[in-house]
Structure formats: C-alpha cells, structure tokens
Amino acid sequence: MALSPEDPHSYARPDLAFVTDIHLELKVNFQEQILKGKAVLTIERKPSISEIILDSHKLFIWSVKSLHPATNLTYEIGHESRFGSKFTINLPEPIHETDTRYKIEIEYQTSKNSPALHWLTSYQTANRTHPFIHQIFVPSGFVVLMSALLENILSYSTRENLFEYFQTIQVPSYAVAIAVGSLKIIHISEDIAVFTEPKYIQEIGKSFYKVERMIQVAKQLCGPYRWGRFDICVLPPCIGEFQIECPCVAFVSPFLLSGDLSIISPIARNISQSWAGLLVTCANYEHMWLNESFAIFIYRKIVCILLGEEMKLFLEMKSRHKIKRKISMLRSMERVKNLVPTLTDMLPENETKYVFYEIGYALLEHIQSVLGGSEIFEPFLKSYLDKFTFKSIKTDDWKKYLYEYFSDKTELLNNIDWDMWFSKISILQDILNKTYNIEFEKKCFDLVDKFINWDEKSENLLRLALSSDITQLNDLQKTIFLAKLYASPSVLSSEKLTYMSYLYHFDNHCYKIRYVWILLGIKSRWNNLDVNRLLEFTIDCCTPKFICALYQDLYKWEEMRNIATL
C-alpha cells in the first residue's frame, strides 16, 4: 500500500481529507492494560473526495459511524506493516454538493502491546501504591494531566471521576500526551503548577520557582506564548529521559528536584519546544531539524541570558562529548545521517537517533554570525515563528523565508554552503573538533586538584579555604567537581570523604549530586558509606542509566558484593 507522498512514514492523505478536531472519551483498564472508548472526528474533505485515509497501529476498531446523518460507515484496515496500517473510511454521500464537513465516531480499543502506551506497575512509582501512565488520552479516578487545558472534573461515582480537557489549538498528533496517577498539585504561579507524587511535595517549591522567568525570556525571543498554561509533571524515577514535545505540560525527571537554576535549566528546552516543534512543526521526520535544532538554539539562548555565555558554551561542549561517545559505539559511520536525511522505507524512530541535530544548531549559529549577530538574527527568529504559526513546513519553506526576510543580504546567504550543511556528514567532524576554555569548569578542576593533593594529616588550615571554594559553586559545578574526582585515577582517603560529608552534606543535595557522591564513595571504599541510604537511593532512582553503573561499581567492592547481588 502506497504511503503518503508528503510523509514517507504515514498512509494519511490530509491533502484530500483531514481531521479538524477530535473529541475523545476513554477509560483506563489498569488490570488489562488497555484503553477503551470512542473518538469523534470532525472531517473536512475536498468536494470530489469520498473517503478519508488515517493511520492505525495495533488498535481494535469496533465500529465507525457518521453522526450527521446517523449511519454506519464501511471501512477497511490494511495489512499491518512497520508503519502501521492504512485505515480507510468511506464517507457518507453528501446531501448537498457543498457538504464537505462530517462528524464520524470511531469506537476502538488499544492492544496490550501498543507502542503508544507506557504502563507502570505500582511498584515502579515513587510511593508504590498507584500506577502511573504517560502518552495516552484518558479520564480516570486519579488525577489526570493532559497536554491541554482542564475544563471540568465530573464525579460519576465514589470510585470514578471524569477529567475533561480541551485544546483549541491544532497540534501534531505526536504532541498529545497524558499522565494519570496518584498525583498532588502544587501551584507555582497562576499559570504554572507541578503535578507530582506525594513523595516529592517538599522538594517542589525550591526546584521550579525560576520556571516563570524562563518563560518570560522565551517570550522575548520568540513572541507570545500561545498555550495558556505551562505545567510540570514529575515522572516516576524508573522512567529515564522522556523527550516529547507537547503543549501546556513538560514531563521531567525527579533528578531535577532540589537543584538550583543550573540543574533545572533543561526545562528551558521543554519551554523552547512550545515554539519550535509545536507552534511551528516539521512536515515529516526528514525535516525534524526544524523542531530539534531550533529548540536547542532557543534553549541555549534562554540559558545564556539567565546563566551567562559560559553556561551556553558548556552545554555545547557537553552535547559534543555525547555525540563523540555515541559515534565511538557505532561499528561504522555509515549509520550517521545528514541533517536532512532521506528516510523512505525506514522507521523514523530507528534512524533519527543517528541524525545529530547539533549540526542544525551550529548552522543557525553560523547564519547568525554571518548576518551580523544576535541583534540581527533574533528579530528574524521571532518573525519566522509568527509567519509559520500552526503550520507544518519543510526545510525549503524555512530557507525561502530566510531569503525573503534578509533580501538585502542575499550575497551573504549565497556564500553559505547549504549542500554541505544539509546533505553531508563531513561537517560534523568540524563541529566536534571545536573546543572552548570554560572558566567555571576550570574552577571545578582546580578544586579537584586541591582535594587530591591535600595532605589531610598536616594541612589543617586548608580546610577553611576548601570550604569557601565549594560553597561558591552552583549545583552543576558541584556535580562536575564530584564527577571529576570520580573519574580521576587517584583514590581519596576515607578521612577526606568523611570531612567532605561533614562539611558539605552531599547526601542531602539534589539527586544528581547524591548520585555522583555515592559513586565516589564506592570507588574510594569509604568505610562510612551509609548502606541504608544507598539502598534507599537505588529505590528512589531506579533508572537503568544510573543504577547499572552504581551496581557495577558496588559489585567490584568485595565487602559490598552481597548487596549488589541481592
């Protein structure tokens, strides 16, 4: 079956007939791990078109009917491929030739292995009493948070509530998300609330109070915030990095809790996606850089304004190190894709992870520099986002508008090697080779040298100097400091670690600091390592990314090996 000519990963033909709005009524069945209910679609078609083509993936369709006029509709679900199935619905005969709008109702049920759902057992949540779900539409008896605005909460019985959400702005289908769980709500401001499991309530206030300032900076850069609210959902700790662009809500890891602005700054990435990816979105996965690279570009501008140029450069370097590690794990550079790849007959979730959107970020930085700096380029950024508001575009659309906006700088733009940036991976190596001397990182490294070289038996006066150095660091610097000590071939004595614990209380800091502190204690075979706190931490932070490394190190410590193998 032929895929869409505009999207190599979809059967849908929105150029012929498309969905203008959706009304969903769904119920969660935690025991069977399914959603069941109905979707009412408002359809707009071209006059000569008699069907609408949709995508279906691992769904059971029970019935399809027209509401006006009320009649059952015939439909066909094609063969299941790796891109899902072609779902063709025959629309009713129009009463008048001018009738081009229909409402149809689809009753359906998800399958247990639906890739759109992520079910957690009660044990995987922080308080271990209620399940937690994301990426689904569902009213439920618990608290429901959706990438939309809450309109009403209706009580059907003592056991069941119905949460009604609405979203008046059209969004990409991948941007519709929902969380259901035993959640508490903490209001940060009139338009910002945090949804969290009860366990984290005490840590919320000091964690996210700067989010409102981030949004203000983003508005200055990008224009009006169109989504009404910006809520935050703290995910269960067993969920690792959860990257999804959705309006009205950001899903974040508890690893950000209790951290200062340097730690919670990644939320600015979620904020930037409210413009790059949601307000303006790419037409298909081949042009995903219009979402990802622009979001990175805006995110780092926000960070630069709030935390300084050095923090922005640090994020660039950190991203390049990640890319280098990822490339080093590949058997061949052939897996690496160029910025605007051809993904025909390829699963996008498999291939886009080999598109390094840092290239697109570097391109935007390069264009900004060529055209005269941020004072020249930032007005274009705001104009671009306004020009294509609520539109799906391709790279050529963006490039055409760039030339239109800077019509007096055509020669400068023509000097950019567009083919190299878009179609060649050779540019990646030039980006990865770029380095910076970052002063705040150097302070951390100097402090590491002091601790390693400190003779705790004779240099007692140095303790005060070391104390003042640590207290001047932000949480990110403290994490860098501990990570550098952990990576060093030198092993700190138990006396040094005991002194550090007494003075700095690293085990009471945010999760990121606690994690590296525990690793450092295991590496140094610290005899005062609190095993109970260690076990508590592994339960609170059960993400494989963190726990695997921790238990691997613990297993190497012979006296603690029995704990690692429990």
Report the candidate in 219, 139, 222, 129 with the shortest Cα–Cα distance to residue 180: 139
Q: In what helix (H) or strand (E) does residue 515 lie, and over which residues does it extend?
A: helix 511-523
Query: Residue 364 has what pLDDT?
Result: 98
If asked whether residues 311 and 352 sit together in one domain, one would say: yes
Give the domain range for residue 445. 439-563
User: What are 524's two structure tokens?
Assistant: 């140094």
Report the candidate in 150, 132, 151, 156 with the shortest Cα–Cα distance to residue 142: 132
If asked whether residues 476 and 553 sit together in one domain, one would say: yes
Distance of CA 117 to the CA centre of its chain: 16
If asked whether residues 213 and 302 sit together in one domain, one would say: no
Query: Residue 300 has what pLDDT?
Result: 97
Total tally of structural domains belonging to the chain: 4
User: What are 324's two structure tokens?
Assistant: 């280098």
If asked whether residues 323 and 424 sit together in one domain, one would say: yes
Burial class (CB in 10 A: 0-12, 13-18, 19+), 338: buried
Overall size of the chain counted in residues: 566
From the CA atom positions of the chain, what is the Rg in Å? 26
* CA pair distance 293, 299, nearest whole angstrom: 10
| CA angle in degrees (0–180, nearest 5) for 554-560-561 | 75
* CA pair distance 197, 122, nearest whole angstrom: 12
Q: Could you tell me the CATH number of the domain that includes residue 84?
A: 2.60.40.1730
Q: Could you tell me the CATH number of the domain that includes residue 408?
A: 1.10.390.10
Q: Does 292 belong to an annotated binding site? A: yes
Q: What secondary structure does DSSP assign to 360-386, as a single string?
A: HHHHHHHHHHHHTSHHHHHHHHHHHHH
* CA pair distance 110, 60, nearest whole angstrom: 6
If asked whether residues 293 and 181 sit together in one domain, one would say: no
Residue with tokens 């979809």: 10
Yes or no: say if 424 and 431 are a contact pair by the CB < 8 Å rule.
Answer: no
The Cα-based distances of 443 to 11, 315, 439, 469, 497 in angstroms read 55, 17, 6, 9, 20
Q: Which 3 state secondary structure label does DSSP give 92?
A: coil
Angle at which helices 374-387 and 395-405 cross, to 10°:
130
Tell me which of 274, 292, 325 is where a domain ends. Answer: 274
Burial class (CB in 10 A: 0-12, 13-18, 19+), 36: middle
* CA pair distance 444, 259, nearest whole angstrom: 18
Per-10-residue mean pLDDT of the chain, 566 residues long, equals: 78 88 82 86 88 90 89 91 89 76 91 75 48 44 82 73 82 80 88 89 81 95 95 82 82 84 89 95 93 97 94 93 88 82 83 90 97 97 96 96 98 96 91 89 88 73 59 88 94 87 82 90 90 76 74 86 73
Report the candidate in 173, 146, 177, 135 with the shortest Cα–Cα distance to residue 19: 173
User: What are 140's two structure tokens?
Assistant: 């439920």
Query: Residue 331 has what pLDDT?
Result: 73
If asked whether residues 296 and 239 sit together in one domain, one would say: no
If asked whether residues 466 and 497 sit together in one domain, one would say: yes
Yes or no: say if 54 and 119 are a contact pair by the CB < 8 Å rule.
Answer: no
Report the candidate in 174, 4, 177 with the shortest Cα–Cα distance to residue 88: 4
* CA pair distance 497, 37, nearest whole angstrom: 57
If asked whether residues 73 and 49 sit together in one domain, one would say: yes
User: What are 421's two structure tokens?
Assistant: 């940036």
Query: Residue 1 has what pLDDT?
Result: 56
If asked whether residues 324 and 350 sit together in one domain, one would say: yes
If asked whether residues 305 and 375 sit together in one domain, one would say: yes
Q: Could you tell me the CATH number of the domain that includes residue 541?
A: 1.25.40.320
Query: Residue 123 has what pLDDT?
Result: 47
If asked whether residues 103 and 84 sit together in one domain, one would say: yes
Yes or no: say if 427 and 434 are a contact pair by the CB < 8 Å rule.
Answer: no
Tell me which of 433, 455, 475 is where a domain ends. Answer: 433
Query: Across the strands, what pairs with 206?
Result: none
Q: Which 3 state secondary structure label does DSSP give 530?
A: coil
Q: Could you tell me the CATH number of the domain that includes residue 263?
A: 3.30.2010.30
* CA pair distance 462, 165, nearest whole angstrom: 59
Omega before residue 172 within 30° of 0, cis: no
Query: Residue 394 has what pLDDT?
Result: 96
If asked whether residues 252 and 328 sit together in one domain, one would say: no
The Cα-based distances of 352 to 23, 56, 338, 348, 358 in angstroms read 31, 22, 10, 6, 13
Report the candidate in 466, 533, 538, 530 with the shortest Cα–Cα distance to residue 504: 466
Tell me which of 116, 151, 179 is where a domain ends. Answer: 116
Q: Which 3 state secondary structure label does DSSP give 394?
A: coil
User: What are 355's two structure tokens?
Assistant: 């598109």
The Cα-based distances of 121 to 28, 61, 127, 533, 539 in angstroms read 14, 27, 11, 24, 14
